[in-house]
């Protein structure tokens, strides 16, 4: 059947849209004996060219999730969980149909009651803008906002785990290596992309083995937990401590820790890309070249040096910070590895399970930021209370000091008054004593005068008596 049909597919968990697909071939697989084998072959080898759905006897058809979605481990483009097919002719017989054709293109929105119930199950998923322009599905024509960029640690892990070429290019850039110097880049801690993560503290750092010798820990970090220096040193030491019993210390391979931070580590000394080693603090001689820490500040691309630009580290940072497909393509055009990374991001964003994991990581970090803001608010409130308490204490101490000074001033005034009164009293006493002494002197003078007068008087009496006696005798 080479006719046109309208396919309605709730891709990206949006309300269903109508898609026009030309030259669709409907193949009815009525037998279930070869069903799983055929589906597995079609999904593995033709996953980007076909869709699979179940069809019943009605023209508006509902598809359920097929078990075959769990069969292929290398599947990069997921088969939609729900799909409906509206045909322009009579209903097809029941069975399993494989629809071949180009990837569906959005023509217009179509609200159906069939999808409304299913949509509520995935209400946590954001509604994404169309990442393709009408009439094209290629990465080169993608427009609008990127659903989840490379600063999302799960998307970062998914992109670089799915594309070794992109990972190789990133490592060569960050470690200043030529492509010819890299023989192999192997991820030693792969995860099953799309699987749910029960532990929100799940580590998404990528552990690598470079050229079968150098161990690298690559990590994207967007939340500043104020522990990065200690944390990165701990991870670096764990990577270096890989010797088995009996091995010589000289067999220890180099260990590298690379942190891509979406914040500034040291506010007093910002730097775009910094390298740290064990060195002598006096003469800066390197103690051991096996341990290296690299820190890239994605928020300070403006501080990139000429060396950083020569190895395109600033381009990688702009790629990771890109928010639209246009900005992403502009940056990716500078280098083949950048372009490979951008394409890997584009196709990874089409995987619904990975998008759910990315959303969960964003929700986790949002909860973490809310928790940190609550802690910071509580800390600020406590700090404010402490400052208010200290201010009250200072006011109380100032009041006490003021009262003490006033009391000392009153005491000094009282002492001054007492001293003045004592001095006045002593002065009065001295005056009184002088008065008494003067009166005593006067009294003594009067006594002496009295005695003198008495003596004189007595002399006069005696003279008179003598005269009287003389008179008596003269008679």
Helix (H) or strand (E) holding 199: none
Residue 475: band (very low, low, confident or very high) from pLDDT cuts 50, 70, 90: confident
d(CA 456, CA 463): 10
d(CA 461, CA 475): 21
Q: What is the structure's pLDDT at 390?
A: 92
**Lowest model confidence (mean pLDDT) among 7-16, 368-377, 441-450:** 7-16
Read off φ and ψ for residue 74, nearest 5 degrees. -100, 10
Q: Which residues contact 473 (CB under 8 A, 6 or more apart)?
A: none
Q: Which residue has the higher pLDDT, 12 or 275?
A: 275
DSSP label at residue 249: G
Residue 245: band (very low, low, confident or very high) from pLDDT cuts 50, 70, 90: confident
Q: What is the structure's pLDDT at 37?
A: 54
d(CA 448, CA 442): 10
Residue 262: band (very low, low, confident or very high) from pLDDT cuts 50, 70, 90: very high
Residue 224: band (very low, low, confident or very high) from pLDDT cuts 50, 70, 90: confident
d(CA 316, CA 298): 9
Helix (H) or strand (E) holding 63: none
Q: What is the mean pLDDT of the chain?
A: 75
Q: Which residues contact 34 (CB under 8 A, 6 or more apart)?
A: none
Q: What is the structure's pLDDT at 201?
A: 53
Q: Is the pLDDT of residue 350 over 60?
A: yes
Residue 340: band (very low, low, confident or very high) from pLDDT cuts 50, 70, 90: very high
Residue with tokens 């910070």: 321
Residue 202: band (very low, low, confident or very high) from pLDDT cuts 50, 70, 90: low
Tens-place pLDDT, residues 437-474: 998 888 888 888 888 888 888 888 988 888 888 888 88
Read off φ and ψ for residue 199, nearest 5 degrees. -90, 115
Q: Which residue has the higher pLDDT, 90 or 304?
A: 304
Pairing of strands 95-100, 84-86: unpaired
Residue 271: band (very low, low, confident or very high) from pLDDT cuts 50, 70, 90: very high
d(CA 342, CA 329): 7
Q: Which residue has the higher pLDDT, 13 or 437?
A: 437
Whether residue 72 contacts residue 100, with contact meaning beta carbons closer than 8 Å, is answered with: no
Q: What is the structure's pLDDT at 254?
A: 95
Q: Which residue has the higher pLDDT, 226 or 64?
A: 226
Which of these, 330, 351, 354, 329, lies nearest to 342 by C-alpha position?
329
Which whole number is the average pLDDT over 416-443?
Answer: 90
Helix (H, G, I), strand (E, B) or coil at 317: helix
d(CA 328, CA 320): 8
Whether residue 223 contacts residue 368, with contact meaning beta carbons closer than 8 Å, is answered with: yes
Which whole number is the average pLDDT over 132-161?
Answer: 80
Q: What is the structure's pLDDT at 106?
A: 26
Read off φ and ψ for residue 273, nearest 5 degrees. -140, 115
Q: Is the pLDDT of residue 72 over 60?
A: no
Cα distances from 222 to residues 264, 272, 346, 366, 455, in angstroms, run 10, 15, 21, 11, 128
Q: What is the structure's pLDDT at 15?
A: 31
Q: What is the structure's pLDDT at 341?
A: 95
Identify the top-confidence range among 139-143, 271-275, 445-449. Answer: 271-275
Angle formed at CA 338 by CA 145 and CA 153, multiple of 5 degrees: 60
Residue 27: band (very low, low, confident or very high) from pLDDT cuts 50, 70, 90: very low
Q: Is the pLDDT of residue 159 over 90?
A: yes
String of b and e for 414-440 (b: at least 16 CB within 10 Å)?
Answer: eeeeeeeeeeeeeeeeeeeeeeeeeee
Q: Which residue has the higher pLDDT, 9 or 453?
A: 453
**Lowest model confidence (mean pLDDT) among 25-39, 142-156, 202-216, 444-458:** 25-39
Helices (H), 86-227: 113-121, 153-162, 164-174
Which of these, 177, 345, 368, lies nearest to 258 by C-alpha position?
177
Q: What is the structure's pLDDT at 200?
A: 52
Which whole number is the average pLDDT over 397-405?
Answer: 93
Residue 41: band (very low, low, confident or very high) from pLDDT cuts 50, 70, 90: low
Cα distances from 317 to residues 90, 298, 300, 309, in angstroms, run 55, 6, 9, 11
Token pair, residue 107, equals 């023509």
Q: What is the structure's pLDDT at 96?
A: 42
Helix (H, G, I), strand (E, B) or coil at 220: strand
d(CA 216, CA 113): 51
Q: Which residue has the higher pLDDT, 197 or 172?
A: 172
d(CA 327, CA 301): 15
Identify the top-confidence range among 39-53, 179-193, 197-211. Answer: 179-193
Token pair, residue 343, equals 């394409």
């Amino acid at each position: 059947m080479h006719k046109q049909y309208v396919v309605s597919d709730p891709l990206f968990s949006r309300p269903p849209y109508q898609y026009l697909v030309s030259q669709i071939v409907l193949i009815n697989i009525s037998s279930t004996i070869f069903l799983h084998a055929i589906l597995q072959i079609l999904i593995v080898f033709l996953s980007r060219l076909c869709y699979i759905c179940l069809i019943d006897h009605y023209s508006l058809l509902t598809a359920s999730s097929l078990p075959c979605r769990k069969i292929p481990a290398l599947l990069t483009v997921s088969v939609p969980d729900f799909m409906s097919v509206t045909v322009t002719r009579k209903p097809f017989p029941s069975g399993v149909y494989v629809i071949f054709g180009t990837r569906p293109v959005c023509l217009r929105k179509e609200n159906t009651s069939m999808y409304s119930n299913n949509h509520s199950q995935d209400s946590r998923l954001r509604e994404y803008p169309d990442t393709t322009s009408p009439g094209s599905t290629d990465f080169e024509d993608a427009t609008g906002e990127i659903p989840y960029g490379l600063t999302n640690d799960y998307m970062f892990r998914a992109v670089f785990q799915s594309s070794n070429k992109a990972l190789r290019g990133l490592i060569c850039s960050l470690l200043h290596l030529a492509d010819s110097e890299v023989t192999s880049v192997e991820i030693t801690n792969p995860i099953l992309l799309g699987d749910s993560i029960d532990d929100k503290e799940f580590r998404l750092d990528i552990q690598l083995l470079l050229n079968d010798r150098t161990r690298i820990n690559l990590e994207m970090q967007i939340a500043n937990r104020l522990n990065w220096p200690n944390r990165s040193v701990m991870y670096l030491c764990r990577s270096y401590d890989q010797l088995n019993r009996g091995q010589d210390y000289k067999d220890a391979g180099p260990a590298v820790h690379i942190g891509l931070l979406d914040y500034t580590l040291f506010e007093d000394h910002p730097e775009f890309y910094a390298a740290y080693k064990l060195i002598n603090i006096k003469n800066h001689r390197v103690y051991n070249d096996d341990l290296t820490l690299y820190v890239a500040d994605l928020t300070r691309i403006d501080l990139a040096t000429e060396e950083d630009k020569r190895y395109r580290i600033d381009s990688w940072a702009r790629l990771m910070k890109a928010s639209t497909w246009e900005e992403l393509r502009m940056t990716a055009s500078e280098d083949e590895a950048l372009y490979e990374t951008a394409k890997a991001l584009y196709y990874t964003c089409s995987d619904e399970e990975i998008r759910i994991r990315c959303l969960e990581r964003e929700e986790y970090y949002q909860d973490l930021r809310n928790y940190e803001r609550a802690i910071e608010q509580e800390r600020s409130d406590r700090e404010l209370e402490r400052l208010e308490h200290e201010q009250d204490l200072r006011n109380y101490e100032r009041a006490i000091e003021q009262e003490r000074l006033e009391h000392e001033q009153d005491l000094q005034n009282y002492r001054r008054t007492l001293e003045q009164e004592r001095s006045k009293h002593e002065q009065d006493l001295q005056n009184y004593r002088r008065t008494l002494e003067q009166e005593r002197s006067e009294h003594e003078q009067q006594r002496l005068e009295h005695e003198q007068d008495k003596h004189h008087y007595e002399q006069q009496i005696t003279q008179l008596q003598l005269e009287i006696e003389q008179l008596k005798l003269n008679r």
